[in-house]
Amino acid sequence: MSDFFFMAIGGLFAGLLGSVLGLGGGVLIIPMLTLVFGVPMREAIGASLVCVIATSSGAASLYVKRHLCNIRLGMTLELATTLGAIAGGVVAGIMKPQILSILFSVLLIYTAGTMLRKKSDGSIGDEMKNTSNLNYGEGSYKITHLPLGMGASFFAGNVSGLLGVGGGVIKVPVMYLLMRVPLKTAVATSNFMIGVTASAGAFVYFSRGEVHPLVAGSTMLGVFLGANLGSRLFPKIKAEYLKKAFVFILLYLSLEMLFRGLGSHLLF
């Protein structure tokens, strides 16, 4: 039982850290569950998807209220992300857990890379916080490359369903760089979509019995409290140094997941 207590505590920290750094919980939760608690990879993914829903429900309700998000664009892209998530979830059921672990380590490296890059064009978190124009959601910008964006969204959904993350690290650049959506709107719309995408994937795991009530329940409770606390306690924190330090942690976790996939251990 004490394991589940510590999972909740770990979830709390993942939620706090995630909301401060602008990361979804999944990137932290899966390494925590598999490496520290020895939860099987697929059960960890199932739990993580539930946690992603919990984080995004809290966050999205804030953003929707502020009208930052473009619900029409979000809905359209969700057609692709949900299908992608289901496909990813089904494929994950066939794949060896070791392969999933290796793929996850690649995703961690990519996430670390995006965190390094964010610094140069102003962090996404700061963009969100300095918002003065609140009627931004469906404003005067013109969306380009919709078909390509749909394809990329399918891929983002696929990654979400396969590896148990929200996929914001893929959706935001797709909307911002490819579809020319303003950054604030891209972030808010991605947050709005993440919950729906993750739930499409989560039900695939649920129907396979891979959403373990105690693992998912205790982690989700921790994450939910952590994310809510984080967004209320530190809405204006300057996280630049924390982010830089965090890149190393992500790289370390990536190595650890890679070794786990290859059947050996680094430190744990």
Q: Which stretch binds other proteins (CB under 8 A): 21-29, 104-112, 146-154, 209-217?
A: 209-217
Q: Please tell me whether residue 32 binds other proteins under the rule CB under 8 A.
A: no
> Are the CB atoms for 222 and 10 separated by under 8 Å?
yes
Task: Show the binding pattern over residues 65-84: x = contacts other proteins (CB under 8 A), - = does not.
Answer: x-x---xx--xx-xx--xx-
Residue 24 identity: G
When the beta carbons of 80 and 107 are compared against other proteins, the nearer one is 80
- Give the angle subtended at the CA of 254 by the CAs of 84 and 192, to the nearest 5°: 35
Minimum distance from CB of 185 to other proteins (Å)? 14
- C-alpha 157/C-alpha 20 separation (Å) is 24
Query: Which of 17/200 has CB closer to other proteins?
Result: 200
Which residues, 6 or more positions from 33, have their beta carbon under 8 angstroms from its beta carbon?
Answer: 7, 39, 43, 44, 47, 48, 215, 219
Kindly write out the interface string for residues 154-193 of this chain, putting x where it contacts other proteins by CB under 8 A and - elsewhere. ----------------------------------------
Stretch that binds other proteins, among 14-22, 121-129, 194-202, 246-254 (CB under 8 A): 194-202
Decide: 173 and 58 in contact? Cβ < 8 Å. no
Q: Does 44 bind other proteins (CB under 8 A)?
A: no
Nearer to other proteins, 38 or 235 (CB): 38
Among 36, 61, 117, 131, binds other proteins (CB under 8 A): 61
- The CA-atom distances, in angstroms, between 156 and each of 87, 136, 194 are 11, 24, 10
Report how far residue 19's alpha carbon sits from residue 49's, in angstroms, rounded to the nearest whole number: 16
Residue 199 token pair: 């739930």
| E-strand stretches of 117-225 | none
Does position 199 bind other proteins by CB under 8 A?
Answer: yes
Q: How far is the CB of 251 from other proteins (least distance, A)?
A: 31
Contact segment (CB under 8 A) with other proteins among 56-64, 104-112, 148-156, 248-256 equals 56-64
Q: Rule CB under 8 A: is residue 196 a binding residue for other proteins? A: yes
Q: Which among 262, 265, 264, 242 is positioned nearest to 21, based on CA atoms? A: 242
- CA-CA distance, 58 to 194, in Å (whole number)? 12
Q: Is 12 in the site for other proteins (CB under 8 A)?
A: no
* Cα-to-chain-centroid distance, residue 169: 7
Q: Which of 8, 189, 2 is nearest to 81 (CA)?
A: 189
Q: Which residues contribute to the site for other proteins (CB under 8 A)?
A: 1, 4-5, 8, 50, 53-54, 56-58, 60-62, 64-65, 67, 71-72, 75-76, 78-79, 82-83, 86, 89, 195-196, 198-200, 202-204, 206-209, 211-214, 216-218, 220-221, 224-225
